[in-house]
Amino acid sequence: MQKSPTSQPAAALDNRQLDLPLFAEPGSTSSSPSPSAPSATPHGQQPAAPLAPDGSKLRSLAIGSRTLHYALKRSARRSIGFAIDSTGLTITAPRWVTLADIETAITEKQRWIFTKLIEWQTRVEQRALPKVDWKDGAEVPYLGQPVRVKLGAPQGMLAFSAEDSALQVPLPLQADPQQIKDRVQGWLQSEAKRVFGERLDIYAEKLGVSYRAYALSSAATRWGSCSSDGKIRLNWRLIHFPLSIIDYVVAHELAHLREMNHSPRFWQTVESIFPEFREARQTLKSHPPELLPTL
């Protein structure tokens, strides 16, 4: 799987986003929905909470018939933040907020928390996708189409043929799989750098903005990010998708140069240069980075 503090810090979320989230809905500044949930009496503080490797305290809270395990971090922030990823739930809270207040906030967000935990578990189970068998004839996705790897390229040069969707790789048929992988992945990343740069220039001109710098990323859960100083990062594995998906992520990050949030005005900005963003966004929601085949 970043908003200003509210007048109710004990139950507030820090959801201000500067990057492309997996679950943020158009018209919302939050990366998580806030459905109503039945209230429950928070449990008292638990003694001697163990520490995680990063120094956060590992705790558990009984909610109905279920037990929720989470990591608690304390910081100088002014609101309670919830984050869910492959490691589970992590809560970051101000040092002055009591454990009772934190558990009240957890109870209020229980429906969202359990839903997202289930989603992550499903992803982990689905992650066991077939790996690429790195040999002559292997196929990798490139701009939405399979590209066949052909070893023994003539004249010792790596060359791509769009006509027959083949990548000629200058390695012998008996080449080590790791060698093949490195050459193909290097080509994919160079193509990502080229294609993304071209699309950034096109959509920056459409929007009338300029970015300061651009680089590739290998983020596990993010397709792209944009910093307030105009630096954009795009996940190189977007090169596996059709150009329309790449264009959406490019438009999304460039729109952050106008609106550093996910407010209705932000989505209007995205739509002004990429009207089909809803369809593309749904595609990426169904194919997060961690579910792509391992290269």
* Confidence tier at 65 by pLDDT (50, 70, 90): confident
Q: Is the pLDDT of residue 218 over 80?
A: yes
Which amino acid is present at 111? R
Number of CB atoms found within 10 A of residue 207's CB:
18
Q: What size, in residues, is the chain?
A: 295
Mean pLDDT of all residues belonging to the chain: 78
Q: Is the pLDDT of residue 226 over 70?
A: yes
Q: Regarding predicted confidence, which is higher, 213 or 66?
A: 213
d(CA 123, CA 210): 36
* Confidence tier at 284 by pLDDT (50, 70, 90): confident
The domains of the chain are located at: 9-126, 139-291
Number of CB atoms found within 10 A of residue 259's CB:
16
d(CA 289, CA 202): 25
- CB-based contact 285:22 (threshold 8 Å): yes
Pairing of strands 139-142, 88-94: unpaired
| pLDDT tens-digit map of 183-196 | 999 999 999 999 99
Closest CA to 284 of 254, 253, 251, 245: 245
Asked whether the CA dihedral 94, 97, 98, 99 is positive or negative, the reply is: negative
pLDDT (average), residues 3-18:
35
139-291: CATH topology is Zincin-like (3.30.2010)
* Confidence tier at 51 by pLDDT (50, 70, 90): low
- Lowest pLDDT segment from 91-100, 214-223, 226-235, 250-259: 214-223
Backbone angles phi, psi at 14, to 5 degrees: -100, 90
| pLDDT tens-digit map of 23-37 | 333 333 333 333 333
Closest CA to 108 of 41, 208, 164, 199: 41
Q: Regarding predicted confidence, which is higher, 231 or 13?
A: 231
Q: Regarding predicted confidence, which is higher, 4 or 55?
A: 55
